[in-house]
Structure 1
Amino acid sequence: MNRLLMLFYCMMSCLIPCLAQDKVSPSVLQQLLRKERPDTADLRMLFNTGNSYINRPGTERGDIDTASICAAKVLKSAVGIGNKVWEGQSYLLHSKILREQGDMKGKDDALKAEAIFKAQKQQELLADAYMELCDYYPPVDIETLNIKLKYYRDAAALYGESGSKLKQANALYRLGDYYSFLPDYKEAIKVLLQALVIFEQLHVKELQGIYNLLGAMYSQVGDSDNGLKYALLSLKTAQAVGDSTTQLCTIYNRLGMVYARVVDLPKAMQSYQKAQEIAFRLKDTPAMQILARNIGQIYQKTNKPGEALKILKQEERYYPPKSPENKILMWECMLNTYCLLGDFKSGAVYAQQLEDMRRAMHPDDAFLEFVYTALVNYYLGIHQYNTAHQYAQVMLAASSKNGNLSFRAKSCSFLYTADSALGNYQEALEHFRLYKLANDSLFNIAKMQKIGYLQVQFETEQKDQALILKQRNIELLTQEAQAARFTRNVIIGGAGMLIALLLLGYNRYQLKLQSNRQLKQQQDEINRKNQSLQELIAAQNKLLGEKEWLVKEIHHRVKNNLQIVMSLLNTQAAFLGDKDALNAIRESRYRMQAISLIHQKLYQSDNMALIDMRNYINELIVFLKDGFSDVNRIKFDLQIAPVKLDVAQSVPVGLILNEAITNAIKYAFTGNGTIIVSLQPADTGYLTLVIADNGKGFPEGEIPTQRGSMGMMLMHTLAEQLDGSLHIESRHGVAITISFKYQEKETFDEPVAIEENVTDYV
């Protein structure tokens, strides 16, 4: 489920307090400020006093002014006595003061402190500077997040080297929290466990924050066993130390998420409602928004979409989300609810809002998980299977990267549905297999976890019952007069209980036998269906193979028939003396060769639907060159994008190329020249074909019309067949431009002028 649920609400309250700071009375502070040349001890007291004022809750003007006076005094005195270390300390304190006021210029002071501590080789103080710098890099994008993570890593390492274990643990704790922003849950768990070991070595009591975060991280990687373990530890610790802050709300919320993951929906709802009570008491609007979404999801899973819509609408009305993250979570849940209700028209508004958010988000943003999940669910519902398939592929890639097993199972399920609807049955079966693997893994983890939890609960109840029995025995010892009667009653009761247990055991045995028989029948039925499915798939594959060979044979025979016609034309030409007739036969032969090449490409290629236009145009030009004796004086400049067209488009394109290039070779040049052939993507969904030469062009004002010649009429007709437009321009030669719709969806590479098997100038 979602991560970062109460993002940064309890960071400062979760963190274990660092080293105690010296405090001085106002009178002592006045004396320190009046000193002309304070010593090192005085500087330390001033620095700690300034820190204590700036670390107070809130941003009171008096606290900030007092801290600023202390920082200025430390800086002035340190410069006066030439103490670089205390000069760096004063810059660090001043950075905190400015940051507390929301002034990002404090970063410059933190950088000054960093430079001084590096030069003075003060490892612990340098780590303090790194921790301060971290607060100037909000995790708004991957670049700033990586900078923040680097500072935390360096700070933790320096604290370890300097022996500051408590500060090291706090740095590791915050590092683990921000690893979840990448998201890198496994690395987050690794770092958090390191921090936990140090906290336990130091006998720190308030560990509910790190337990809570560990539970959330384990749940994200599908380890619900450890997720529940640390979630319960977090709750137990919070209750033991009397924590009633927003952190307790977060603890109950994440505990509910773990219960939802192991399909214990009543306990999940109970935990969410406890968290909701705390959020209402603290008037925590973001928490109420998140909890409304989580409660809505429970209603969705219990087939109560109407209840889910009711609570979500109420939350949207009274507590509308403001941050992008909360908007995504609310819209995602609303869209899923409308999909369950089958009201796709109402859901379209939220789908469009999520689409707008998706386009503005970074590809590695963790919240894209919720955006894509809701959008794929919606597009499947409105039968836009291609879009759903595309988004589900993105989901699968993201789940492979972050190791989220639940997300992987969901994406495979979406791909199975989309592939089935699109007729991609082999891909559908593969994605169904991957879905079963991921889902079975999740089920096994959840089942083991739940059994472990029930076992712990059972053992606890047994211990409680043992204590009760012990108390009863003590009472019996004080009432010796009733011992005989009590013993008799116990024996009778025990016998009755034994009989009841025997009857119950026999009954359970019979139920288990019946259950096993039903399971065996179900397994046999599944095996029969699997066998039928395998036979169906084998028959389908056989039919597909036969169809493929038949189509190839058709293209082969069409190509052979065209070659026969061309041979007949060549034979006829040998008996003709009329120049016009010979030209007509030769032009007809070129046109047939253009079509023949297409059918040749189709039966020679594995893809019998599309023609690689780069290879086709190259071979067509080679053929046309062979048909003219003086063509070596003409250079061909090919600029062909890696485009594949179907037969319906490639035949008109080939005939247009044949007409335009043949005319250019015959009429454009009196000497040397160049013919440019370009096929490039233009606007979205369009291709532009250009055949241009630098020859003498048409006489001024005499550009031929559609009825000017058969070739010109043919090119206009073919352009209309492509549902495109044809434009002829005569300026420094002739340029024929055809723009037409591109039917195949494909991403274009950068335009290239050289193919491995085609020289720059053919």
Structure 2
Amino acid sequence: MLEYRNSFRNNHFFLISFLLFIFCLISYNATSQDRKKADSIINLLNNKKLSSKQKAKELSVLAYYHPDLDSALYVAKQALILAKENKSPIAIAESWEEISHVERRLGNNDKSLSATLNALEIYDSLKLNERKGASYNQLASNYISDGNPREAIQYLKDAYLIYNDAANNRKKLYTLLNLGEAYRLSGYLDSAQVCFNKGLKLNQTKRDLIVEGYAFGNLGMIYAAKGMNSSSKEFLTKAITILDSLGDSYSSTIYLIELGKVYQSQDSLTKSKDIFLNALKISKSIGLKEQIRDLSQILSEFYSHQVNYKEALYYQKQFQLYQDSLVNKENIQRIERIKSGYEIDKKESEIKLLGKLNSNQKKLLIILSLGLIILFSLLYLITRAHRKIKMINKNLAIQKNELYQREQEKIILLRELNHRVKNNLQMISSLLSLQEQELSGHPAKEAISEGKNRVEALSLVHRKLYQDKLGTYIPLKEYITELVEGLFYGYGATFSPIFHIQKINLNIDKAVPLSLIVNEIIINALKYAYHNIANPELKINVVKSEATIFLTIQDNGNGFQIGKLETTDSFGIKLIYSLVKQVNGTISKKSNSGTIWEISFENS
């Protein structure tokens, strides 16, 4: 258990903790403000006649505040082009800085590092020390993102000295806390403890609650690593209290997990379980999928050790639901290089073999020519014909191999396309989740939630195509099962659906509309059908007869009036009928002790 806890701490909090300082301390609770600021700058650029120099400045600021990272990167690069045209070194360096920030948030650490070094070179030549300090902090962040916190320490020390000389207390304080975090991640716990305590002392006059929250939290993690459990619990509890008051549920969840582990190490199992469950509840409420996944794994391990295999299995399934297996591109490339080397070796062996055969044939021809001069002409013609056939076969083999390689490249490109589409859909889903949180109590929240569910249904289609390597077909049974169970889990259903689904592979052209049809019907049932129903049930049947697929979804809910269904203004109902037409299918519905949807379409 101790080995598992240490592994989890190293793997999960390694990057999150440091980025938490850099991001949260500088831009805490600013998403909506950034969006408003970005809109204001866009209006300024559209409505005002600005000089090229002013436009470059505004574009650089817009890149900082723009909520969409791809758009922010494009804007930052445009600002760099204008800055170079204006031959303004400071504007060029600022543009490189913004490019570095965006590239790091996109996960492109090598590009971010290169951009930061470009900015640092300019600031160094202009002797702008405070700007150099910001670049040092960014370089440290790049090294942390690459899993190399020890390289970050020296850059943070240099930045701290710069801000100390400039008497910039705010930046000095944040840099000190970042330095402490780099020490902690590198295993220098005593040095990290000194930095955080010094930071708290410097913060006594300002009483910045954000600083206190993160300093207390990280001190709690240091004490936990040292086995000082009482101090660890005290500081972690302080951090959670402060961050909860600030509404920073993300950070308080991280420290809650650490606090639960401390209680678990002291065999306070009931207390640790309550803390883990509370952290899971918070993570679900704000849609922290990574934390839900990791907490599910922790609880599965916890219940396994308690010999409660029912709960352990439940959380293991939940963990699997949120576990998204990603393909390592470097491994794919390495495998392709091995395959290419094998093909080259095989071709060389074939060439050597052909060379030996040719040599034997020549010897045979010489021997035969000496004894059979009369048949020389015939043998010559046969040899020529043989060579031509061999050349033709060789060309055919080359063409066949080229076709095979192209097909393999198409398969890889198609999988990569599905992977990128899946990632983009997940990004859209995350953005809708953020918007949904900001619309708490607003009538539009339900529409945003339904839109998010539709996007996630489409994302699941492309994930199945990517993971199962089926090109343009998905396994219908596995897909519908995962989609419906995900909706049941998301809506907190207390019963399980009943599936009777044949093994059918469905083309993506039919799979996409079908996924939205199933999504709409299931959500409609979960939201409205089971009010005051003692024993709710939902059955999903899919069978195939020749070239026709029959889908039946049946519940035992409250039902509805068929006449009203035909005239309803519900977007979901209209969407269902529209999608059925799209697949050239038919739909019927019955309402008798529940609701039955019957849909049929051709699988062609």
Which band: TM-score by shorter chain?
0.3 to 0.5
Query: Greater share of helix residues, 1 or 2?
Result: 2
| TM-score, reference length from structure 1 | 0.38
**Structure with the larger RCO, 1 or 2 (CA within 8 Å, 6+ apart):** 1
Higher Cα Rg, which structure: 1
